[in-house]
Amino acid sequence: MPFLHHAVTTLRIITKPSVVVPNLTVRSVANINFKKLRDAGYEGVVIDRDNCLTKPRQDDLVPSLKDAWADCHKAFGPDRILIVSNSAGTSKDASFLQAEALTRNLGAPVLLHEAPKPWVVKPILHYFADLPPLSAPSAAAQPKLEAEPATPRKPIPPRLLVIGDRISTDILLGSRLQGSFSIWTKKVWQEESFGVRVARLLEDGVLFGVTRWRVWRRKRRGLEPEVDTAQVFVKNEPVVEEPAESTWWNSIVSRVRGLLPKAT
């Protein structure tokens, strides 16, 4: 039902524009401080494949992300990193061969799912719910409670990082996962089809409009400009750039992206 999915996504953006705004914008995965995010209490990572970890439709990590990926594994461990792609692990992936290759090459599981991002909330929550807790509080630290009648409690959703290069899929997914922290990676390692390029440009335009509107609204209400506290999770180490193709399309995209919130 791609048409229905697109229609609902558009409606969601119109009714609640803030869903397109990431919590953090970085140039690439190499600029994310995974250790600090783990220390801040985030319990797992949901990460995209195409143009985030690998070049489109490829199953190997972009070489310059090797150290960052190792840091991610060190902070969260392989089980708490879940690759969620709209190609690998879906019906577009015959016999799940891409998912298998990705798991082997990147050392993290790939979610097998039917509905595309951002409509894949339930399988993600089920995956993390089945994992053992990260750390159980020690007996001494536990407060002594009086015997109370057991009342069913709603499970607390895990605090997840949702990382990806697309606003309409990855960042919107982050807005649908309660308590999560969305990270937008701006670097495009290799351009995809014309349709994806147009969609990416539209997403950039919507994000630009919403960001400007939020600034204007705060000013109108007499509030101070928003302080970007998420910058503490950015790694300022220089990223080894892989040469981008120089085309007329890329020059338009880089001009539009120059207008968007700056990524460190």
| Shortest separation between residue 99's beta carbon and Mg ion, angstroms | 15
Q: Which is nearer to Mg ion, 93 or 165 (CB)?
A: 165
Task: Give yes or no for a contact between 115 and 102, defined as CB atoms under 8 angstroms apart.
Answer: no
| Shortest separation between residue 145's beta carbon and Mg ion, angstroms | 46
Residue 59 near Mg ion by CB under 5 A: no
Binding mask 149-188 toward Mg ion (x if CB under 5 A, else -) reads ----------------x-----------------------
Q: Give the Cβ contact number of residue 43 at 10 Å.
A: 19
Which residue do the tokens 């999770």 mark? 233
Nearest residue by C-beta to Mg ion?
50
Q: Which is nearer to Mg ion, 131 or 196 (CB)?
A: 196
Task: Give yes or no for a contact between 8 and 115, defined as CB atoms under 8 angstroms apart.
Answer: no
Q: What is the rounded (10 degree) CA torsion for 196, 201, 202, 203?
A: 90
Question: How many residues line the site for Mg ion (CB under 5 A)?
Answer: 5
Task: Give yes or no for a contact between 159 and 40, defined as CB atoms under 8 angstroms apart.
Answer: no
| Shortest separation between residue 142's beta carbon and Mg ion, angstroms | 42
Residue 191 near Mg ion by CB under 5 A: no
Helices (H), 164-241: 172-176, 194-220
Residue 48 near Mg ion by CB under 5 A: yes
Closest CA to 249 of 259, 260, 257: 257
Q: Which of 28, 31, 33, 50 binds Mg ion (CB under 5 A)?
A: 50
Q: Which is nearer to Mg ion, 52 or 161 (CB)?
A: 52
Task: Give yes or no for a contact between 26 and 232, defined as CB atoms under 8 angstroms apart.
Answer: no
Note the residues at the interface with Mg ion (CB under 5 A). 48, 50-52, 165
